[in-house]
Structure formats: C-alpha cells, structure tokens
C-alpha cells in the first residue's frame, strides 16, 4: 500500500460532491487501505476520498486515542439516517486545511448506514468524537468544508491565509511522499 497526497484547500476537488460507489471492488478496497495509511501518517482521525483527489463516496475514521488499539472504520456510501436534537459546539481541524481550527455545532449522536469493504451493509450508532468525525467526513463527500460553517467574511479571510502558505505545505508533502517512495 502507499501514502496518498492530501489535497490542500483551496482546491475545487474539495467542493465537488462525490459519486456513490456502484460496485465495491479491489480498486475501492485499495483506495480505502491507502486512505487509512495516509490518515495515520498525517496524523489524523478521519479522511474522505476528495481529500486524496478521488470522487468516490468513501471515508475512513479511527478516533482511538494514542496508546489504544486502533479501531479503523472504512465506510462506503455512508449516510446519516438519524441525528439527535442535542448539538454540541466543538473545535474541529482538517487535514486539507492545516492549522485551521473552527468551532462547529453538530448533533452529538447519530446513526449511520454504510457498506464495508466487503460490500456488507451496516448501521451503527455513534456519539461524541466518533459521531463528529463521521459527520465531518460525510460533509467532505458533499463538498462541504468545516470553514463553510463560518460567516462569509471569516471564511474568505481564512482561505486567503491558507492560500498564502499552500505552496510551502505542498512542498513539504511532496518531500514526505518522496521519502516514502525512496524507502
């Protein structure tokens, strides 16, 4: 497996809704595994396909804390089927918007339906950080970024700031990927 380059905002691929996966085959399984490895290496707790340049509706999530056994979830075509009325305001980061943290209000508990990498259907309940991460990643599949919850002016200022440092971030990422290929 291999690490994938992470798409850094602003980039139109992050704003384009993804297409449902019609058939779960080896290419989807490989994408999911590469996304998981990329997420762990970043390090992050969630990653959606558009963040690695793919237009497929797939996400990976693992909110296990450092020192705990990994609990990876690979989700194909995830859909929130229920959300609690109770919402929580929490600070969120994003691998595609490095160093940009935004307070986002989200339901504290959700139920999500998805298929796993073997095309088996699941419906699980999630709460707390796990629920938040799933919702954040599903937003990516719909072309929504966490900064989209900001006012227009704050969002534009934030993205302008990120655009200034984007070339340096991409250079660092290319060096990291180059080191991986060399080893």
> Which residues are known catalytic residues?
137
CA distances from 53 to 17, 50, 56, 65, 118 (A): 12, 5, 9, 27, 23
Q: How far apart are CA 177 and CA 14, in angstroms?
A: 21
Between the two ends of the chain, the Cα-to-Cα distance in Å is 13
Both tokens of residue 115?
């298929």
CB atoms within 10 A of CB 122: 13
């Amino acid at each position: 497996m291999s690490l994938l380059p992470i798409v850094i905002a602003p980039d139109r691929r992050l704003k384009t809704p993804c297409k449902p996966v019609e058939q779960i085959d080896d290419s989807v399984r490989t994408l999911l595994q590469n996304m998981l490895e990329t997420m762990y290496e970043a390090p992050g707790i969630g990653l959606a396909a558009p963040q690695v340049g793919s237009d497929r509706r797939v996400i990976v999530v693992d909110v296990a804390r450092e020192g705990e056994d990994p609990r990876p979830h690979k989700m194909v075509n995830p859909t929130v089927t229920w959300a609690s009325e109770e919402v929580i305001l929490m600070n969120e980061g994003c691998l595609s918007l490095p160093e940009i943290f935004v307070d986002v209000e989200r339901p504290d508990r959700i139920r999500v339906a998805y298929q796993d990498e073997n095309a088996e259907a699941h419906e699980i309940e999630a709460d707390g950080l796990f629920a938040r991460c799933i919702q954040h990643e599903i937003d990516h599949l719909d072309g929504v970024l966490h900064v989209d919850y900001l006012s227009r002016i704050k969002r534009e200022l934030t993205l302008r700031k990120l655009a200034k440092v984007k070339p340096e971030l991409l250079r660092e990422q290319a060096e990291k990927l180059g080191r991986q290929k060399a080893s």
